[in-house]
Each structure stands twice: as C-alpha cells, then as structure tokens.
Amino acid sequence: MITKPFENTKIILFKTPDEQKLMKDAIKKVESEFGKEYPLIIDGKEIFNSEKIKSTNPSKPSEIVGLVSKASKSQAAEAIEKAYKNFSWWSKESQAKRSAILLRAAEIMRQRKMELSATMVVEIGKNWVEADADTAEAIDFMEYYAREGLRYSQETPLMRINGEDNHQVYIPLGVGIVIPPWNFPLAITTGMTTAALVTGNTVVLKPASDTPVIAYKLVEILKEAGLPDGVLNFVPGSGGEVGDTLVDHPLTRFVSFTGSMEVGKRIYERASKVNPGQKWLKRVVAEMGGKDYIIVDENADLESAANGIVQGAYGFQGQKCSACSRAIIDEKVYDKMVELINERVQKIKVGDTREFPVPDVHYYNMGPVSSASSKAKIMSYMEIGKKEGRLVTGGKEIDLNGGYFIEPTVFADIKPLSKMEQEEIFGPVLSIIKSESFEKSIEIANDTIYGLTGSVYTNDRKKIKKATEELLTGNLYINRGCTGALVGVHPFGGFNLSGTDSKAGGPDYLLLFLQAKVYSEKV
Ligand code: NAP
C-alpha cells in the first residue's frame, strides 16, 4: 500500500511573490470565517452548547477567530463512555485501513496547507514560516505514524523452542485522553491524536483553550479522510474545569499530555490512583516544559552561535518547549557574544504576523505572545531579570491594537541557580550566563529540574565528546540551534521534569500506545 519511503515536508520560506500571494489569500479566507461557531463532537454527533470558548486573535484580541462549544463535565464523561463502546470494534480494524486514513488525512492537509497555516497566524500569532512549519510537521507525523503502525503490526520475532509455537503481537490499550498545548496547535495535536488512533485506540481530544479552531479543523480532516464516527471525540473545555473528569474516569486507559510541568505533574499524580470500577493502571505519556540552553565555547564560530541563540530564543516569541532561554558563554568570548546577540535582536520586527510575510534568513519576525495571562506572566519576569542581572535590550510591552506584544528581551550577567536561570518563562526573554570553563558550562546546563533541549557550539572534538556524554538533555544538538526537531530525524522528548522522554516522531513512540500480548501453543 505504501510505496514511498517517509520524507519530511519541505518548509516554505515565502520568498517568492507567488508563495506570498497564496498566504495572503488564505489569510483573507480565514478572516472571512471570523466569528463562526464550532461544535463539540461526541460519538459522531455535533453538539452546540450555549457556553462557548471565545478564540481570539492575540495580535488583535477584538477579533474573534471562532466560538467553540465548551463541553460540560457530564459531556466529557459521556465522550469517554462512547469512546469505550467504540473501542470494541475500532481496535479490531485492520492496520492497513487505519494507516490509510492517516495517509488520506495527510493528503487533505497538503491541499489545505495555506488555510491551516493562516488559521495559526490569526489564532495564535505564528509568523508565516513558523505556521507553515507547524502544518508541515503535522503532515509528517501522519505520514510517519502510518508507516510505523504497519511496522508494529508485524509479529515480533521470538526465540524458538521445541514443542511450542510462540507469538508476540502488539494490541491497543483502550480509551486515550489527548491533551495538547497551544504552542504547536496543529503539529502536536495531530501527532498525539493520530499516534493513539493508528494503533487502534479510541480518543477523547481536549484541545488547548487558546487554539480550539485549528484543532476542530484537524477533527474535520480526519473525518473526511474516512475516520469512522465515534473513534475520535472532540471535547473543547477549560482544562481546569474538565481536566480532572477526563483523567480520573475509570474507563480512561491512558493520558497523552503535552504542556506545562505543573499540569503534567497533576495529571501524573491523579492518573496513578485506581478509581472504583477501574480495571487497569493508567499509562501517562507526559511531555512538559524546559529550560533549554546553548553553550558557547571559547573556540566556537561566534557568528553562527549568535544566530543559533537568537533564532532559538525568539522564534515564535520564545514560546517553544525547545526555546533557548539560557545562553551559557565562556568568559573569554562573553562580551563579544553579548554584542553579537544584541546586534541581531535589534533587527527583529514585532507586530501583527499577518503583515510580516518575509522573514530573512536569521531573524524571525515576532508576533504577539499567546494570551493576556501569558503576557502578564512574562512581564513579571522583567522585574526579576532587572534585579538578578543587567537588562541589555527590551523589557517592555508594545502597545499595538490591544495585542499581546512584548519586546525581544536580553538579560546579561544572570547567575547560575537564580530564578531567571532556573524557571521556564515561555516568552521572548533570553538570560545570558558567564561561565569560567567548558566543564562549568556543562554543570550549569545540567543544574535545573528540566532536561529537554540544548546545544553546544565548539570546534573541539574532545569537548563535543564530553558534551554528548555528560549533558543530561533529551535532544542535544552540536553546532546548530536547539529548536526545529524534524519527524523521523530527531525523535523528540525530554528527561527529568521535562517529561517521560516519549520521543515523539521516532521509532519508539507508537509503543507507548500499545501493549504486547504473547500466546504460546503446544505443538
Ligand atoms: P498548559 O497550561 O499545561 O496546558 C496544556 C494543556 O493542558 C491544555 O490543553 C490545557 O487546557 C490543559 N490543562 C490545563 N489544566 C489542566 C488540568 N487540570 N487537567 C488536565 N488538563 C489541563 O500548557 P500550555 O501553556 O498550553 O503549553 C505550554 C507548555 O507546554 C510549556 O511548559 C512548554 O514547555 C510545554 N510544551 C512541551 C512540549 C514537549 O514536547 N515537551 C511541547 C510543547 C509545549 P486549557 O488550555 O483549557 O487550560
């Protein structure tokens, strides 16, 4: 059925007028749908509730991207019960059929690529290239997991013994609760949802409240691709209101979560309790925050390191779990690096991402941060930064159309173990830390509760070896930036309180949604 090997989707840089026109038209189309109402979906039935999530444009919050029905607690429970009923037949569908649905959905996404990316430009403030990369990753996840599903459906070779015929096969788990974040609202939502579906599980998807419209479009695409009713249930709602109901329900078999450490820990703890009527131990796949770093050694290519730091710190306004929030610089090149970083930051433009078609190669234009509450949280760190270090540039809000804009901000002379150095800020704020040696840089990098991404710039092979051996980082890069993991190329997931190291987009990922069954026949 699948004839071509997996290949990553090419990202569009919008350099040509034709590409730019496609995005401008798509933005117009999406704007023409502002204010549209979207239902929740349980067992294939569309339900419009009077209570809605108002999804607004963070560049201009007076614009309502969509009004999405909000599920009540009883509807969340009903969705799990229906998903449980539908597991009985979906789990028995052939792998070929399940994989084919993902491939068709990937094809529909390719056809609707500009519209999906334009939706993210207005619903969460991605610039065009970042939005295109998000859609490309969603396509890649489906192409990759369709193939991986087929691989896992093959029997595992076992040792043979005389007098017995032994087999190991992988079977699905049951009902999965999928809880994604808003920051990769198509890619991560698609990856988490389709990994669970392709392995034969049924799903209750609770999208992030800041991005329910793009999540609805994923559900619509999977239906069009042939996913039967009731296999994927869509229950938008505030995590604080329906989250516990979804996690605690005795019919919930697993929770696949990506988001903050605080919420991840809560889910992990609640899911560990065996509730009345529950027949299993719930599995939790939790991918959480980071305090990611770039180490710059004394003999590194400094220009290239500065490019990596600036891209990593300010791409999508620093709102990536992989964002570079710490630059750990050898004291011998410290002053020069602060200067190179600052030079680049001065060139970043901030504004409504609809109007920023052409990023140049190194300096990604910045849009707004995701919400008023994110903005308030990030701004609270500006005061902390001023006390703990030296403000090099930025530090202020930008008043534009009521949007949630913040200047790209650099703090230098931040000390190891300070708040700025330890806590995930999740915004366009970089802390620069001076280090007396490469060994000390490694110690500083490792000394947080997280362990998601990091990068080392050095031209010394011995130091590269030391870094790969000693840095406790789920995704470590050498002489390149710390963001931009590609499906199939850089399986993604972190250590310690960054999560369960699930390695999304890699060969071990689907195993998290399967269990091995062994049967042995006397012959
Ligand atoms: P968040 O606030 O933890 O929310 C993530 C999801 O959890 C949302 O759908 C949210 O719903 C839901 N939620 C909130 N409270 C809940 C509860 N009590 N029970 C169940 N679900 C609940 O995180 P975020 O702000 O969306 O995303 C940013 C965080 O995600 C950062 O920490 C970032 O590092 C992390 N992240 C990690 C990875 C990775 O691969 N490691 C990737 C991307 C992002 P509502 O939206 O309704 O509140």
**Is residue 14 situated within a structural domain?**
no
Write down the pLDDT at residue 152: 97
Q: Does ligand 1 come within 6 angstroms of the Cβ of 200?
A: no
Which atom of ligand 1 sits closest to the CA of residue 498?
Answer: 41
What separation in angstroms does the CA of 231 have from each of 188, 226, 246, 258, 404? Answer: 19, 11, 16, 21, 37
Instruction: Count the domains in the chain.
Output: 2
Residues 338 and 475 in one domain: yes
**Is residue 497 situated within a structural domain?**
no
pLDDT greater than 60 at residue 166: yes
Token output for 99: 């994989």
What separation in angstroms does the CA of 372 have from each of 62, 92, 217, 243, 307? Answer: 13, 45, 25, 22, 29
Token output for 280: 């299993």
- CA pair distance 36, 31, nearest whole angstrom: 10
Which atom of ligand 1 sits closest to the CA of residue 182?
Answer: 26
Contact call for residues 193 and 203 (beta carbons, < 8 A) = yes
For position 236, which CATH number holds? 3.40.605.10
**Is residue 496 situated within a structural domain?**
no
Residues 482 and 508 in one domain: no
**Is residue 495 situated within a structural domain?**
no
Distance from the CA of 462 to the center of ligand 1, in angstroms? 39
Residues 105 and 230 in one domain: yes
Q: What is the mean pLDDT of residues 256-263?
A: 98
Residues 255 and 351 in one domain: no
Nearest CA among 521, 324, 343, 514 for reference residue 428: 324
Token output for 220: 């619509």
pLDDT greater than 70 at residue 360: no
pLDDT tens digits for range 169-222: 999 999 999 999 999 999 999 999 999 999 999 999 999 999 999 999 999 999
Residues 458 and 510 in one domain: no
- DSSP conformation class of 318: G
Q: What is the mean pLDDT of residues 99-103?
A: 98
Residues 99 and 56 in one domain: yes
pLDDT tens digits for range 314-341: 999 999 999 999 999 999 999 999 999 9
pTM over 0.85: yes
Residues 188 and 228 in one domain: yes
**Is residue 80 situated within a structural domain?**
yes
pLDDT tens digits for range 362-392: 456 899 999 999 999 999 999 999 999 999 9
Q: Which residue has the tokens 């109402």?
A: 37
Write down the pLDDT at residue 361: 45
Distance from the CA of 366 to the center of ligand 1, in angstroms? 22
Residue among 78, 143, 287, 421 flagged as catalytic: 287
pLDDT tens digits for range 275-311: 999 999 999 999 999 999 999 999 999 999 999 999 9
In three-state secondary structure terms, 261 is: helix
**Is residue 53 situated within a structural domain?**
yes
Residue 195 CB coordination number (10 Å): 29
Distance from the CA of 373 to the center of ligand 1, in angstroms? 14
Write down the pLDDT at residue 224: 98
Contact call for residues 178 and 222 (beta carbons, < 8 A) = no
Write down the pLDDT at residue 393: 98
Contacts of 141 (CB under 8 A, 6+ apart): 187, 190, 191, 194, 195, 487, 504, 505
Residues 330 and 190 in one domain: no
Residues 60 and 174 in one domain: yes
**Segments forming the whole domain that contains residue 441:** 292-486
- For the chain, give the percent of residues with pLDDT over 70: 98
Annotated catalytic, 324? no
**Is residue 492 situated within a structural domain?**
no
- CA pair distance 71, 51, nearest whole angstrom: 8
Beta-strand pair 60-69/36-38? parallel
Distance from the CA of 284 to the center of ligand 1, in angstroms? 14
**Is residue 163 situated within a structural domain?**
no
- Torsion sign across C-alpha atoms 214, 216, 220, 225: positive
- For the chain, give the percent of residues with pLDDT over 90: 96
Contacts of 494 (CB under 8 A, 6+ apart): 287, 288, 290, 321, 450, 451, 452, 453, 473, 474, 475, 501
- From 53, 178, 179, give the residue whose CB has the most ligand 1 atoms within 8 Å, as the site to mutate: 179
Q: Does ligand 1 come within 6 angstroms of the Cβ of 321?
A: yes
Q: What is the mean pLDDT of residues 263-274?
A: 98
pLDDT greater than 70 at residue 145: yes
Residues 32 and 80 in one domain: yes
Nearest CA among 232, 304, 289 for reference residue 80: 232
Annotated catalytic, 287? yes
- CA pair distance 384, 186, nearest whole angstrom: 33
pLDDT tens digits for range 459-515: 999 999 999 999 999 999 999 999 999 999 999 999 999 999 999 999 999 999 999
pLDDT greater than 60 at residue 357: no
Residues 31 and 60 in one domain: yes
Measured by CA distance, the residue closest to atom 28 of ligand 1 is 259
pLDDT tens digits for range 394-452: 999 999 999 999 999 999 999 999 999 999 999 999 999 999 999 999 999 999 999 99
For position 459, which CATH number holds? 3.40.309.10
Residue-averaged pLDDT of the chain: 97
Run of H or E residues at 77: helix 73-90
Residues 475 and 340 in one domain: yes
Q: Does ligand 1 come within 6 angstroms of the Cβ of 421?
A: no
- CA pair distance 296, 458, nearest whole angstrom: 7
Write down the pLDDT at residue 246: 98
Q: How far is CA 236 from the centre of its chain?
A: 18
Contacts of 449 (CB under 8 A, 6+ apart): 261, 291, 422, 496, 497
Contact call for residues 97 and 210 (beta carbons, < 8 A) = no
Contact call for residues 88 and 315 (beta carbons, < 8 A) = no
Measured by CA distance, the residue closest to atom 8 of ligand 1 is 208
Contact call for residues 199 and 231 (beta carbons, < 8 A) = no
Write down the pLDDT at residue 3: 79
- From 257, 258, 266, 512, give the residue whose CB has the most ligand 1 atoms within 8 Å, as the site to mutate: 258
